[in-house]
Amino acid sequence: GAVVSQHPSRVICKSGTSVKIECRSLDFQATTMFWYRQFPKQSLMLMATSNEGSKATYEQGVEKDKFLINHASLTLSTLTVTSAHPEDSSFYICSASRAVNYGYTFGSGTRLTVV
Amino acid sequence: AQTVTQSQPEMSVQEAETVTLSCTYDTSESDYYLFWYKQPPSRQMILVIRQEAYKQQNATENRFSVNFQKAAKSFSLKISDSQLGDAAMYFCAYLPRETSGSRLTFGEGTQLTVNP
């Protein structure tokens, strides 16, 4: 149990375009989901906390207008990278939890390349 | 604020041998959870083991076990009979014992190499 699905796994987009990444909890409901960014050989950096039915909470330094988060249902959160630029190229991962004492389950990640 | 420190950026072990990965953390809370996650080259984050702070008994999962020293705020991971598939980046993580919505705090990670 506690499966989190993330799509797409890889995406290449042109500079200036927008890209949407989906994160779904398949067998449980998640009122909260988290979005991370990870650079090679580094730890996960929390970008924002996605709350079902309300605005996301962004970490300091993360541009909320560039990284739009929508958590419209208890099983789906989306991250949209708007007007993408090469510096936005990175690995993005989402996570959710069925119950806090079991820790968090992670999606398989999305490798974004902006050309 | 809570912090998690992994002082070993890289470790290596011979296949079938035992290796211990270190993790220390800082918190003012008395009740919390600790986790070890594994991230292989596929980059999928996989939960290896978890420990509840109020439990004195060290958690074990097959070849994986922890040495949880609450007073010292230390949470090391021991991998016994290391296998090639254990090669990965390992992250120690802290989670406060609150209601849903609590955020994980990760360490910097330890890259484990398993030599045949």
pLDDT, tens digit (0-9, with 9 covering 90-100), for B16-47: 999 999 999 999 988 899 999 999 999 999 99
Q: Name B50's bridge partners.
A: B35
User: Measured between alpha carbons, how far is B97 from B53 in angstroms, rounded to an integer?
Assistant: 9
Q: Flag if A43 and B108 touch (Cβ within 8 Å).
A: yes
Q: Which residues of B47-62 are buried (b: 16+ CB within 10 A; e: fewer)?
A: bbbbbebeeeeebeee
CA distance B77 to chain A (A): 17
Low-confidence stretches of chain B (pLDDT < 70) are 99-101
Which chain A residues contact residue B107 at CB under 8 A? 43
- Of A68, A78, A90, the closest CA to residue A23 belongs to A78
Please state, in angstroms and rounded to a whole number, the distance separating the CA atoms of residues B85 and B13: 12
CB atoms B47 and A103 under 8 Å: yes
Phi-psi region for residue B43, left (φ > 0), alpha (ψ -120 to 50) or beta?
A: left
Angle, vertex CA B74, rays to CA A109 and CA B65, nearest 5: 65
Q: How far apart are CA A46 and CA B33, in angstroms?
A: 18
All residues of chain A having their beta carbon less than 8 Å from the beta carbon of residue B101 are 31-32, 49, 51
Distance from CA of B10 to the nearest CA of A (A): 11
Integer angstrom CA distances of residue A47 from A12, A53, B7, B48:
21, 19, 24, 24
Place of tokens 């968090």: A104
Res A98: pLDDT:
78
Model pLDDT, residue B2: 84
Q: Residue A103: which of B42, B95, B107 has the nearest Cβ?
A: B95
The mean of the pLDDT values for chain A is 93
Ranges of residues in chain A whose predicted pLDDT is under 70: 100-101
Residue B55, chain A, CB below 8 Å: the answer is no
- The predicted pLDDT at position B97 comes to 83
Whether A34 and B104 lie within 8 Å, measured CB to CB: yes
The minimal CB distance from B101 to the residues A32, A103, A106 is found for A32
At residue A95, the pLDDT reads 95
Percent of chain A with pLDDT over 90: 76
